[in-house]
Structure 1
Amino acid sequence: MNLQYALLKDTSWQSQIDWQLPDTPFMSFAFWQALIDTHAIGEQAGWLPIFVLVYRTDDVGHKATIDTIIEPVDIAQAVAVMPVFVKNHHRGEFVFDHAWAQAYAQYGLDYYPRLVTSSPYTPITGQRLWLAAGETLDTNIVKMIMAGVDDIAQQVGASSWHGLFVTPELAKLAMSAMPAHNVSDPAQITHTEIEALTANNPILERQGCQFLWQNKDLLQDGKPFTDFDAFLTTLTA
């Protein structure tokens, strides 16, 4: 069977298949439903979600638009889903690419809209897609997901896609699925280099530094903090 992708705006697919338990509560369906219900994500919030659903099919051809699935999708054959947000700002990401925006503006290019895959408002490294029960993430699935991302980018005229706080596993598979380049200083990139990078659709790895506080009491005796004062005491100890 072949892998194909569909671009979906709603979350009806969640209840139609058995999904693996995510590695972080910030990828639980309950958390995402809360984001939707409180309008923390959505077009008005500047976080327009589109879901790239990868599924198995006997069909070879494939056509899809964001608003309409031209060919019928058998949700029961879904293997993975990755959220992609269409954004015109950087808010709620905890990591910023203003240097890229400035570089584009310097050469008269449009940086917005841009595409972002993340757990909104959450600077926690973790899983950034949902896998169906019994499935294992591999290069073939990631290649199909990236094809869906590229399709979205072309349809909305996005400049780029950003996977934020992704797991090392997903980063490695994404870089294996597409040509990789390293740019040390986006602010110094030339117009010719921007055009070359855009034409080649590469994955660029961007590294940052996080300061993490651990629950020492939990690590030592298996007990969590009793209250916020205990948390502050541990931080200052």
Structure 2
Amino acid sequence: MTTFSFHNSIADIGEETWDALVHRPDCGLDYPFIRYGFLHALESSGSVSIKTGWQPFHLVINDPEPVGVMPLYVKQHSYGEYVFDWAWADAYQRYGLEYYPKLLNAIPFTPSTGPRLCLSADLSPPQQAELHQAAAQALTQVCRQHKLSGWHSLFLDTDSLPLLRGDGVKRRLGSQYHWFNQGYHDFDDFLSTFSSRKRKNVRKERQKINQQAISHRFLNGQQITDAELDRFYDFYQITYLKRGRSGYLNRDFFRLLCESIPENLLFCIASKDDQDVAAALYLQDSATLYGRYWGSLEAFDSLHFETCYYQGIDYCIANGLKRFDPGAQGEHKIQRGFKPIETWSVHWLAEAGFDQAISQFLAEEETMMREHMAALEAQLPFKADNPDGRDAD
């Protein structure tokens, strides 16, 4: 008999049980953000907790042993999600209803598409489809029992998207900008697919780094020293302080990542005159590089583009990675060869009175999003006879 249990700490589930279901590098299932080490670092550092408005409420599916897990949080706000529902919360408030708390299936502070319900490899496709639908029903039931406004699954991988369904479950389209490796030999080979003017612009930006005598080095989680980690954290906080607030994550979180999943971490550190002046943190798996956090001591011309984009592209080409996900937002990525891609979330709201309004909103939003993505496609820098940036050879 299949049962569902909910847990207020990932430690209650345990690393062996969790990673046996989510982390199988031998078959390409090595998405780093859903690993126990990443999610446990968020909780044990205090970055994710009841105090920060992220109460862990992870789902385990048992039959009778664990056959599935899902990262879940009871949210008291919508910060750190990157799928914006502030307008929905405002509408609830105007009608005297409570939008918070809500139930969230997502990776905190991580707008990166990936698996959101991980199931045993021993299950057949029909069994997996059945459990996806059963999980959706379990989330709906929990929301009703605990008077949560609804549940939301963010940045869902496309394989799971058609499976997580049920009455009232709605899809929402979003967009990001990703780089795809078409078998490039080096960065110049990639640039050879650009139109002449766009190619010159990128080369000028990279030349400015040399003119400022800035160099870069990569370190993984095992290689970085405590002093280098401290400097990276200072850079990270500076970025947020410029916006008038502190970063979501504390130093303990990054230290714990270095200890728990060092092979997935990649620090790109920029130096000038033997002093570190900027840094970016990437995560990686067997196919994809993920750009996450960045900061610098002062403004250097084109340093953000070099550290967060061009160095990442260089790394992907050198290491045979297929895709580079540099993070949310930033239409300036289009001119640098990052293509608009679809992202998806699914939503269920308990208040039936909003059903028609939300459905209409999502339909109109999707139309506008597709038009916007088409317009951005037209701005890609690739040659007219090579619109996808493929190697002509």
Once the two structures are TM-superposed, the CA of residue 169 in structure 1 deviates from its matched residue by: 2.0
Letter of the 1:35 partner, please give it: L
Give yes or no for contact 1:113–1:156 (8 Å, CA) kept in 2.
no
CA shift digits 1:123-180 (9 cap, x unpaired): 11001133234335622211221233123312331111111101122221012xx12x
Once the two structures are TM-superposed, the CA of residue 226 in structure 1 deviates from its matched residue by: 6.5
With the length of structure 1 as denominator, give the TM-score of the two structures.
0.70
Does 1:128 pair with 2:116? Answer: yes
The RMSD of aligned alpha carbons is: 2.7
Letter of the 2:106 partner, please give it: S
Aligned match of 1:163: 153
Give yes or no for contact 1:111–1:159 (8 Å, CA) kept in 2.
yes
SS of structure 1 residue aligned to 2:123: coil
CA shift digits 1:88-108 (9 cap, x unpaired): 111111121112112212222
Q: Hey, what's the Cα distance between the residues in 2 that align with 1:145 and 1:208?
A: 23
CA shift digits 1:101-121 (9 cap, x unpaired): 122122222111111111111
Aligned match of 1:26: 33
Q: Which has the higher helix share?
A: 2
Does 1:86 pair with 2:74? Answer: yes
Letter of the 2:76 partner, please give it: N
Letter of the 2:46 partner, please give it: H
Q: Hey, what's the Cα distance between the residues in 2 that align with 1:219 and 1:136?
A: 34
Give yes or no for contact 1:7–1:148 (8 Å, CA) kept in 2.
no
Does 1:146 pair with 2:146? Answer: no
Q: Mark the structure with the bigger radius of gyration.
A: 2
Give yes or no for contact 1:87–1:114 (8 Å, CA) kept in 2.
yes
Give yes or no for contact 2:22–2:34 (8 Å, CA) kept in 1.
no
User: Unaligned regions of 5+ residues in structure 2, if any?
Assistant: 24-28, 188-215, 219-267, 269-305, 314-332, 337-393
SS of structure 2 residue aligned to 1:142: helix
Once the two structures are TM-superposed, the CA of residue 29 in structure 1 deviates from its matched residue by: 0.9
Aligned match of 1:8: 7
Q: Which residues in structure 2 correspond to 1:68-217 (within 5 Å)?
A: 77-135=65-123, 138-175=128-165, 178-179=166-167, 202-212=168-178, 214=179
Identity of aligned residues (%): 27
With the length of structure 2 as denominator, give the TM-score of the two structures.
0.44
SS of structure 1 residue aligned to 2:113: coil
Letter of the 1:105 partner, please give it: Q
Give yes or no for contact 1:20–1:133 (8 Å, CA) kept in 2.
no
SS of structure 2 residue aligned to 1:143: helix
User: Unaligned regions of 5+ residues in structure 1, if any?
Assistant: 58-76, 180-201
Aligned CA distance change for structure 1 residues 168 and 106 (closer, same or farther; 3 Å): same
